[in-house]
């Protein structure tokens, strides 16, 4: 699977044969569409029919998914994220469910699975962002609330990734610019490597301005925000 920051740009790249396979780096060509999904987002039910590409080099197929889609869930990342945030703040499950118009059992399941996944997600955030996790935040945030700690760490990692994307865009020399900024080129190459490892494509360099929950979803989508799962 591949997650695209801008779904329209990702679709254009796929049709043009310019979307890279996250496995081998080969080029994808349009394949048969993936199955339809019904997703609640922005207060409405959306029918999502993801495109799918097949690698011309290794033959593997990949579903191309938008940044707001949470694998195997019928709700967008904004809805799931708000539920997890309510759980991290130790709000009553029923109150969170009623506010989001989601069944109580669904919210309870999300929170249970997120707490079980908190340890691996916290480790993932540290691997991805290193010293940026917890930087500038009081040590008091380590309260024993594993869900809050994981969300804080993932938020730090998401901000670092968005900041790196913005720096990469600024580092691109304009017409007539002289000299080569090798440090910026190395940073841009590292950023591209990180995105590929996350199975994320950003053809229009939209990551720097993407909604925070979308970025957080992108850094966890390949392994599962709630639990590892297949798309």
pLDDT tens string 142-171: 567 899 999 999 999 999 999 888 877 655
pLDDT of residue 231: 41
pLDDT of residue 143: 61
pLDDT band for position 51 (cuts 50, 70, 90): very high
24 close to 62: Cβ distance less than 8 angstroms: no
The yes-or-no verdict on residue 42 having pLDDT over 90 is: no
Its sign, for the CA torsion 198, 184, 17, 217, is positive
Considering the entire predicted model, what is its pTM? 0.85
User: What mean pLDDT is predicted for residues 202-215?
Assistant: 90
The yes-or-no verdict on residue 221 having pLDDT over 70 is: yes
Sheet of 28-30, strand order? 28-30, 51-55, 61-66, 2-4, 200-201
pLDDT of residue 182: 57
78 close to 186: Cβ distance less than 8 angstroms: no
Here the tokens at position 182 are 């090798």
The yes-or-no verdict on residue 215 having pLDDT over 70 is: yes
State the CB neighbour count (10 A cutoff) for residue 166.
14
Strands 28-30 and 200-201, bridge-based pairing: unpaired
pLDDT tens string 62-120: 999 999 999 889 999 999 999 999 999 999 999 999 999 999 999 999 999 999 999 99
Candidate from 135-144, 164-173, 198-207 with smallest mean pLDDT = 135-144
pLDDT of residue 189: 78
191 close to 164: Cβ distance less than 8 angstroms: yes
pLDDT of residue 135: 72
User: What mean pLDDT is predicted for residues 165-191?
Assistant: 64
- What are the sequence ranges of the domains in the chain? 2-173+180-220
Three-state SS for 107? helix
The residue ranking higher by pLDDT, 142 or 55, is 55
pLDDT of residue 172: 52
43 close to 78: Cβ distance less than 8 angstroms: no
The yes-or-no verdict on residue 229 having pLDDT over 60 is: no
Question: What is the Cα gyration radius of the chain?
Answer: 19
């Amino acid at each position: 699977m591949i997650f695209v920051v801008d779904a329209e740009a990702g679709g254009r790249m796929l049709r043009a044969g310019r979307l890279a396979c996250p496995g081998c780096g080969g080029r994808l060509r349009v394949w048969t569409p993936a199955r339809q999904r019904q997703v609640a987002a922005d207060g409405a039910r959306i029918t999502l029919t993801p495109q799918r590409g097949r690698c011309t080099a290794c033959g593997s197929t990949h579903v191309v998914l938008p940044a707001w889609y949470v694998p195997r869930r019928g709700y967008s990342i904004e809805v799931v994220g708000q539920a997890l945030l309510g759980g991290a703040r130790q709000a009553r499950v029923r109150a969170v469910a009623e506010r989001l118009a989601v069944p109580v059992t669904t919210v309870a399941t999300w929170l249970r699975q997120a707490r079980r996944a908190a340890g691996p997600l916290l480790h993932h955030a540290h691997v991805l962002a290193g010293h940026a996790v917890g930087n500038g935040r009081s040590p008091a945030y380590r309260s024993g609330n594993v869900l809050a700690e994981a969300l804080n760490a993932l938020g730090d990692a998401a901000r670092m990734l968005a900041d790196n994307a913005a720096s990469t865009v600024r580092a691109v020399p304009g017409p007539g610019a002289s000299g080569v900024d090798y440090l910026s080129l190395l940073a841009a190459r590292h950023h591209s490597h990180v995105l590929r490892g996350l199975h994320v494509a950003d053809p229009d360099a939209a990551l720097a301005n993407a909604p925070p929950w979308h970025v957080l979803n992108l850094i966890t989508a390949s392994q599962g925000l709630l639990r590892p799962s297949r798309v």
